[in-house]
Amino acid sequence: MSLIDKFLSRTRLRGARQRLADDSSPRNYLALAQEHARSGEMVEVQRVCEEALALHPGHGELTRLHERARALVNEERTRSLMRELREAPRPGLFRELAELFLSMGRVERADEVALEWFEHSGDGAAQLLRAQARFQRFMVDRRREDGRLVLELCQAAAKLLERDERPLRLELELYTAIGAWRDARRVVSQLLEQSPGDSVLESRFRALNALADAAPNVDAALREVERSGKLASEERGARRSAAPARSIRPLLKELASGPGVQAALFERGATALVQGPKGATAERTARAVREIVAKSRSTSRRLGAGAPQSIELEGEFGSVLIAPDDSGSAALWTTRATITAAQRAALSDLVGAGAEGIDESEVQSAQEEAA
């Protein structure tokens, strides 16, 4: 780029930034991102798009530009890492490259790089990353061989990574997905040995106790998932949808009454029950949660990572936790920096109650109260 071109580019960037400072509209964000793109500054394009999407979630052009910029940045970093590995391989480079491939949804390449990493260093983290890659593929293809390999790799990683919970948590995620509740209970018991008194784990152990007696073994559960193409969580969601309505307003009010809580809500489809904000503010809050859940599910599908189990946001506004489910989504916004285990459990209870249906009289009373 010539000196004149650089000067003109800087001039255009200053103008785009000033227009954006005067009016933070999607159009002005796009103009600034495109100026960075003309200069080949794709990292800046990403940054501008992320800032824009925080203000204008779900905007089509901004989303597409952000995804394109991220893909170009990832491709360039991938080429750079592969050059460095050819010249002087080391575990940190293998890790970054494997994780990058995994984030891009290139599961096979992630597995190959992680295997090469393990052969180079014998690192247990490499086996764990291979397990994560296979888990992603299992969640998409539902093949039992992938599920078995996930468990083998988790167990191999656990032997090399002493007192590291990650292999156990991935094992638990698989058992829960396929409905192997006895094995899930066993893993939760192991996690409790490492984290005694953890209220979330204790609650989960009690819930699994109720399911364990009639649960299939791992092989039978994997065969059923491969045969039907449906995960156990999906089957349970389908059964829940036919259940009778149950009141969730008391649960919602109890959650909203906690210190620092700004909003608590449950929504399914176009219906939202909100505690905290009123009127138009309640509608905007519900709409924002709906858009975050939709975007997260879309991104998760593109990555082949399965359905998101929880969504957490932190910032100057405090903390937001969303529990998405087939039966609906429960959300909590608090000004406090962290969300307590009790609040997490309450969100799970809300989703469970919503799975049995929303009483239509609640919807009417919620609308009257918001007005």
Look at residue 335 in the predicted model and tell me its pLDDT: 86
pLDDT at 360: 39
Which string of DSSP letters, residue by residue, matches 79-145? Answer: HHHHHHHHHS--HHHHHHHHHHHHHTT-HHHHHHHHHHHHHHH--HHHHHHHHHHHHHHHHHH--HH
SS3 content of the chain, % helix, strand, coil (to 5): 70, 10, 20
Q: What is the mean pLDDT of the chain?
A: 83
pLDDT tens, residue by residue, 205-252:
888 887 888 789 999 999 999 998 888 866 655 444 443 334 577 778
At 201, phi and psi to the nearest 5?
Answer: -65, -40
* Residue 336 vs residue 93, higher pLDDT: 93
- Residue 255 clears pLDDT 70, i.e. is over it: yes
pLDDT at 306: 64
Among 60-74, 159-173, 284-298, 316-330, the range of highest mean pLDDT: 159-173
C-alpha atoms less than 13 angstroms from C-alpha of 314 in its C-beta half-sphere: 4
Strand, helix or coil for residue 358 = coil
Q: What is the C-alpha separation between 246 and 358, in angstroms, rounded?
A: 6
Residue 319's alpha-carbon distances to 212, 312, 337, 340, 352, in angstroms, are: 34, 7, 6, 11, 22
Alpha helix ranges (H) inside 215-312: 218-228, 232-240, 249-256, 279-303
Inter-axis angle of helices 166-178 and 181-194, to 10 degrees?
A: 160
Q: Using CA atoms, how far apart are residues 191 and 24, in angstroms rounded to an integer?
A: 47
Residue 192 in contact with residue 205, Cβ under 8 Å?
A: yes
Question: How does pLDDT run across 281-340, given as a tens digit for each residue?
Answer: 888 888 888 888 888 877 776 666 666 778 888 887 888 999 887 667 889 898 887 788
Give the type of residue at 144. Answer: R
Tokens describing residue 293: 């859940």
Rg (CA), the chain: 24
Give the whole-angstrom CA distance, residue 234 versus residue 337: 33
- DSSP letters for 198-221: -HHHHHHHHHHHHHHTT---HHHH
Cβ-based burial of 27 (10 A; exposed 0-12, middle 13-18, buried ≥19):
exposed
Alpha carbon distance 104, 303 (integer Å): 6
Task: Enter the pTM of the model.
Answer: 0.58
Tokens of 136: 């992603």
3-state secondary structure of 23: coil
Task: Provide φ and ψ at 324, rounded to 5°.
Answer: -85, 145
Percent of the chain surpassing pLDDT 90: 36
What six digits make up the tokens of 100? 């990058």
* Average pLDDT over every residue of 247-270: 80
Each residue's pLDDT tens digit, 118-153: 999 999 999 999 999 999 999 989 999 999 999 999
Reported as a pLDDT band with limits 50, 70 and 90, residue 356 is very low
